[in-house]
Structure 1
Amino acid sequence: MEFIKKVIRKIKEGMLQEMYEETKWMYTYAKKYKFQIVFYIFLGVLTTVMGLASSVGSKYLIDAVTGQDSGNIALIALFIVAMGLFSIGINAITTMISARINIKVNNEIQAEVFDKILVADWISMKEFHSGDLLNRLNGDVNTVASSILSWIPSLITRSAQFFGILAIILYYDPTMAVIALGSAPVMLIVSKTLMKKMRDYNKRMRQVSSDVMSFNEESFQNIQSIKAFDLVGLFSKRLRDVQQNYKDVFLDYNKFSVYTSSFMSVVGMFVAYACFGWGVYRLWTGHITFGTMTLFVQLSGQLSSSFKSIVSLVPSAISATTSAGRIMEFFKIKDESDLEDDKAKLIQNNTQGKGLSVVLDDVEFSYNENKTVFKHADIVANPGEIVALVGPSGEGKTTMIRLLLGLINTKSGNASIRDINGVSCKISAGTRRFFAYVPQGNTIFSGTIAENMRMVKQDATDAEIVEALKAACAYDFVNRLPDKINSKVGERGSGFSEGQAQRLSIARALLRKSPILLLDEATSALDVFTERQVLRNIMNMGYARTCIVTTHRPSVLTMCDKVYKIDSGVVCDIDEKEVNMLIRDF
């Protein structure tokens, strides 16, 4: 009893506790397919029984051929062939069932992980490299999905095979069974040490695999810069450094695996020789027949092999739980806050094209405790106004945009939207429905222009798309394309200039017809004339819109109703005189 308590206490501590929690998480998916898995197990056990029956049949066939048994040779041979054919058919069925369940589980977990990544807290998710995310979303999910289907059925079918073989050998010769199990104590003794090492190696392998994918993904995303700065040689060397690290870990793991398997093979070899020697002795003394001797040799090898197969499930379980742990890290991240959702819905019903105000009252924000990005920030932006955020680079303009989008939350103070009836709602993930956003850089997706536009309004007509393109001064170059709005767009807007891609992004934001438009350096690639024309069009679309822009360009400031300066953690409203001074400084 004390021993059992000690085992349970050990399980609840450290590595085994982690594996237990990870296995529980995997089980939540396995139980969704319990009927298919049970059927899969049934077929596996049936195949095992047929294999054992075929082995026993071969004993009687040999005894019949050698004249030591009067059995019907033809009937026994037919039985063995029938068992083999049935096994082939069942294996084909189990393969199809396995493929169906595996792809279902893989897709389900992958979709849930993908959805979780999209709704998880933005700051927490920034800690993961995009390459690492891809590795977990594909490699780890695939490992877990495969194990959910195969591990438990494999454990049961291989255990059934092991105990079935053991029962047959015990029936004919108990001593042979004891000899055949000679490797079991050795495996059990070294299992604890091996498990810890295997888990450590699996974690290292998954991490270096993520490092390789992260490096490749980041390099391909910035291939233009790599070429422009003539960094091909540098990045080629860095790749080889990353590969060398992967190689070192892989070969280290391989060496460990080789040593382990070699040790177990030596143990297995001695057991096999001992079984063979015992069988020869029993045959020599006349206690068994040639058929029984053949059966012993065959089954003793299978017994040792089946036990080794059961033990080999440990590495696959460790690999699966390691991958499960990496996936579970996402589900431990809190979701984005969706504050005052009822108020947001009320405002949505009240707005209907009447516009919304953005109000920041004594807001403070910092990414960490050491540095405050801004404090005591007071900003008011009303419908029909263009409000600019200016200041030195890195002082918090883009951070302010993130706060307005609910990607980050205030440390203190109140950030809210307010409708014309005075109903206000705290800014959070739930208020993004009121915003249209055009970020810095290129945010066009691969597909067609129309598909990009309809992402924000799926039922948009061609006429509405054209109207938005015209407002963004993008229609002229789109109309010159052979397929017009159905023209293909490459990855990250490939095929279009930066200025064209910016205008397409602005058009997409305008098509959304949100009451608040955020432009984060969104006109930086446009010439002054086009930039001013776009801003005029935005404010003259006959839709009550609040427009907030971050900019360094004087041409934008001259069109703004209010200008707020963010500098050294202070946000202040500057008057026309200070705006003119800023324009001169530019």
Structure 2
Amino acid sequence: MQLIKKIITKIKSGMLQEMYEETKWMYTYAKKYKFAILFYILLGVITTLMGLGSSVGSKYLIDAVTGQDKGNIALIAIFIIAMGLFSIGVNAISTMISARINIKVNNEIQAEVYDKILVADWISMKEFHSGDLLNRLNGDVNTVASSILGWIPSLVTRSVQFIGVLAIILYYDPTMAVIALASAPVMLIVSKTLMKKMRDYNKKMRQVSSEVMSFNEESFQNIQSVKAFDLIGFFSNRLRSVQKNYKDVYLDYNKFSVYTSSFMSVVGLFVSYACFGWGVYRLWTGHITFGTMTLFVQLSGQVSSSFKSLVSLVPSAISATTSAGRIMEFFKIKNESKIDDDKAELIQSNTMGKGLRIELDDVEFAYDDTKTVFKHANVQAEPGQIVALVGPSGEGKTTMVRLLLGLINVKSGNAIIKDVNGIKCNISASTRRFFAYVPQGNTIFSGTVADNMRMVKPDATDEEICEALKAACAYDFVHKLSDGINSKVGERGGGFSEGQAQRLSIARALLRKSPILLLDEATSALDVFTERQVLRNIMNMGYARTCIVTTHRPSVLTMCDKVYKIDSGSVTDIDEVEVNKLIKDF
């Protein structure tokens, strides 16, 4: 009783508790396919039993051939062949079932992880590098999905094989069964001792793998800058440094695996030789037949290998639970906050198209305790207005945009949108439906021009797309393409200049016809004439729109109804005199 309590206490603490929780999480997915998995296990057990039956059949065949048994040779041979053919058929069915379940589980976990990443708290997710996200989304998910079908079925089938082999040997020679089991306590002690080390190595391997993927992904994203600054040699050397770190960890893990595997193999080899020697002795003394000796030769290796296979499930389980733990980290992150979702629904159904007002009243925000980005910030923007946010780099313009988009939430004060009926709704992820956003830089995806446009409005007609392109001053260059709006676009807008890509992004935002348009340095790659023309078109589309722009360029400020200066934590509504001074000083 005390021993059981001690085991339970150990499971509930430290590494074993972590593995238990991770295993429990993994098998929430296995439950959904329990009947298919049970059928798969049944087929595995049948295959194992048929293999054992063939081994026993070979004993009687040899005894019949040598005249030590008067069995029907032809019948025994047919039985062995039938077992072999049937085993091939069962294996084929098992493989198809395995592939079907594996891909379903893999896709299900991957989709859930992907969805979780999309709705997770924005600040928390910034802690993960995109390369690490990709590694977890693909590598770790694949490991978990494979183990769901591989671990428990393997445990059952290998246990059946081990027990079956042991039972046959025990039936024919109890002493040999004892010899065959000699490796069991050694292997159990070794696996228990090395479990923590295996888990540590698995974590290190996952980490360095993520580092390699992160480096490659980031360098390919910025390959133009790498070439422009003639940094090819620098990045090539950095890759080799990252590879060296991966190599050192991998070889260290490989050395550990080789040592432990070699030790296990030596123990298994010793047991096999001991069983073989005992069988030769029994045959020499006339206690067994040649058929029984053949059976012992087959089974002595099987009993050791089957037990070794059971022990080898430990590193497989550690690898799977390590990957599960890395995936579970995402599900521990809180989702982005959705405040006043019912009010947002009401505004969307009753007042869309009539314009929305933005009010920030005495707002304070800080990413951490070391620096306050805003303090006592007040901003108002009305439908039909262009409101500019200006100020030095790094002082909070982009943070203000994130706040308006509900990616971050105010620490104190009020940030609301208000409709024409006076309904107020706190700004959060719920109010993002009212915004169209154009960030600085290239945000065009691979596909066609039309594909990019229809991301925000899947049912948009070609005419609506062309109208948005015209408003963004993008129609002229798109129209000249060989396939017009159906022309192919490369990754990150490949084939278009920065200015063209920006206009396509603006057109996509306009197609959505959202009541609030956020342009975060979104016209920085346009010439002054095009920039002003785009803004005029935006405000003359016959749609009650509130437009907020962040800019370093004062050329657009004369078109704005309000200009707010963000500097040193304060947000100030500046007058026409200061606007003119900004334009003059530029």
Common fold, TM-score beyond 0.5? yes
Aligned mates of 1:489, 1:351 — CA distance in 2: 36
Aligned mates of 1:175, 1:214 — CA distance in 2: 57
Partner of 2:285: 285
Do structure 1's residue 367 and structure 2's residue 357 form an aligned pair?
A: no
Partner of 1:402: 402
Report the alpha carbon displacement of residue 277 of structure 1 after superposing the two structures with TM: 1.2
Aligned mates of 1:538, 1:584 — CA distance in 2: 26
Do structure 1's residue 100 and structure 2's residue 100 form an aligned pair?
A: yes
Equivalent AA in structure 1 for residue 237 of structure 2: K
Q: Deviations over 1:445-501 (max 9, x none)?
A: 111111100111111111111111111111111111111111111100010000000
Report the alpha carbon displacement of residue 281 of structure 1 after superposing the two structures with TM: 1.4
Partner of 2:564: 564
Q: Secondary structure in 2 aligned to 1:496?
A: coil
Report the alpha carbon displacement of residue 294 of structure 1 after superposing the two structures with TM: 1.1
Aligned mates of 1:225, 1:556 — CA distance in 2: 29
Do structure 1's residue 13 and structure 2's residue 37 form an aligned pair?
A: no
Report the alpha carbon displacement of residue 182 of structure 1 after superposing the two structures with TM: 0.7
Q: Deviations over 1:221-276 (max 9, x none)?
A: 00000000000000000000011111000000000011001111111111111111
Equivalent AA in structure 1 for residue 487 of structure 2: S
Equivalent AA in structure 2 for residue 193 of structure 1: T
Equivalent AA in structure 2 for residue 180 of structure 1: A
Report the alpha carbon displacement of residue 301 of structure 1 after superposing the two structures with TM: 0.6
Equivalent AA in structure 1 for residue 436 of structure 2: A
* 5+ long unaligned stretches in structure 2: none
Aligned mates of 1:537, 1:269 — CA distance in 2: 82
Equivalent AA in structure 1 for residue 240 of structure 2: R
- Whether contact under 8 Å (1:362, 1:414) holds in the other structure is yes
Partner of 1:506: 506
Report the alpha carbon displacement of residue 187 of structure 1 after superposing the two structures with TM: 0.8
Do structure 1's residue 180 and structure 2's residue 190 form an aligned pair?
A: no
Aligned mates of 2:150, 2:399 — CA distance in 1: 47
Q: Secondary structure in 1 aligned to 2:544?
A: coil
Q: Secondary structure in 2 aligned to 1:558?
A: helix
Matches within 5 A, 1:90-169: 90-169=90-169
Q: Secondary structure in 1 aligned to 2:379?
A: strand
Partner of 1:574: 574
Aligned mates of 2:273, 2:528 — CA distance in 1: 88
Aligned mates of 2:523, 2:376 — CA distance in 1: 29
Partner of 2:444: 444
Partner of 2:211: 211
Aligned mates of 1:497, 1:33 — CA distance in 2: 50
Report the alpha carbon displacement of residue 350 of structure 1 after superposing the two structures with TM: 2.4
Q: TM-score, normalised on structure 1?
A: 0.99
Report the alpha carbon displacement of residue 28 of structure 1 after superposing the two structures with TM: 0.3
Matches within 5 A, 1:329-348: 329-348=329-348
Q: Secondary structure in 1 aligned to 2:238?
A: helix
Partner of 2:88: 88
Q: Secondary structure in 1 aligned to 2:256?
A: helix
Equivalent AA in structure 1 for residue 462 of structure 2: D
Report the alpha carbon displacement of residue 373 of structure 1 after superposing the two structures with TM: 0.7
Equivalent AA in structure 1 for residue 343 of structure 2: K
Matches within 5 A, 1:20-31: 20-31=20-31
Q: Deviations over 1:259-315 (max 9, x none)?
A: 001111111111111111111111122111111111111101100000001111111
* 5+ long unaligned stretches in structure 1: none
Q: Secondary structure in 1 aligned to 2:460?
A: coil
Matches within 5 A, 1:151-300: 151-300=151-300
Q: Secondary structure in 1 aligned to 2:559?
A: coil
Report the alpha carbon displacement of residue 123 of structure 1 after superposing the two structures with TM: 0.7
Do structure 1's residue 389 and structure 2's residue 389 form an aligned pair?
A: yes
Partner of 1:460: 460
Matches within 5 A, 1:527-542: 527-542=527-542
Aligned mates of 2:458, 2:483 — CA distance in 1: 20
Partner of 2:305: 305
Report the alpha carbon displacement of residue 580 of structure 1 after superposing the two structures with TM: 1.0
Partner of 1:543: 543
Q: Secondary structure in 1 aligned to 2:142?
A: helix
Report the alpha carbon displacement of residue 66 of structure 1 after superposing the two structures with TM: 1.1
Q: Secondary structure in 2 aligned to 1:24?
A: helix
Partner of 2:349: 349
Aligned mates of 2:137, 2:369 — CA distance in 1: 32
Runs of 4+ in 1 over 6 A off after TM superposition: none
- Whether contact under 8 Å (1:155, 1:313) holds in the other structure is yes
Superposition CA RMSD, Å: 0.7
Partner of 2:489: 489
Partner of 2:583: 583
- Whether contact under 8 Å (1:350, 1:419) holds in the other structure is no
| Percent identity of equivalent pairs | 87
Partner of 2:431: 431
Aligned mates of 1:422, 1:268 — CA distance in 2: 80
Partner of 1:477: 477
Aligned mates of 1:484, 1:564 — CA distance in 2: 40
Report the alpha carbon displacement of residue 65 of structure 1 after superposing the two structures with TM: 1.0
Report the alpha carbon displacement of residue 352 of structure 1 after superposing the two structures with TM: 2.7
Aligned mates of 1:95, 1:149 — CA distance in 2: 11
Aligned mates of 1:70, 1:192 — CA distance in 2: 49
